[in-house]
Amino acid sequence: MTLHCLYAGAPSQVAQQLLNQATPGDAIVLLGDAVELAASNQDWNTQPEQHGIALYALKPDLQAAGVATVASSVTPIDYTQWVDLSVAHRNQRLWR
């Protein structure tokens, strides 16, 4: 299981590459500019769930970006929950 931390904004070739390499059981945390992908009007955010990949977005980054409504496939998390995910996933990968 890998925790993928995505910083690349939407739409991005990096985000698509991540989806191509992620496997069921992995998790993705949207950070920085990538939280725009969590918005309910983005098609990208439904793809991870369809492949058995959990999708999260960091709450402070959502607030900073003005993303008030996230898709049902996205779970907003705080810093403590991000640390918990980091501990739960043996491997981590940063995508920019």
In 3D space, the residue among 46, 35, 44, 33 whose CA is nearest the CA of residue 72 turns out to be 46
Q: What percent of the chain has pLDDT over 90?
A: 78
Contact status, residue 33 vs residue 67, Cβ threshold 8 Å:
no
- Residue 10 pLDDT class (50, 70, 90 cuts): low
pTM above 0.75, yes or no: yes
CATH architecture of the domain with residue range 2-95? 3-Layer(aba) Sandwich (3.40)
Residue 9 in this model has a pLDDT that exceeds 80: no
Contacts of residue 80, Cβ cutoff 8 Å, sequence gap at least 6: none
Q: Which two tokens stand for residue 17?
A: 């590459």
Taking only the tens place, the pLDDT of each residue in 61-84 is 999 999 999 999 999 999 999 999
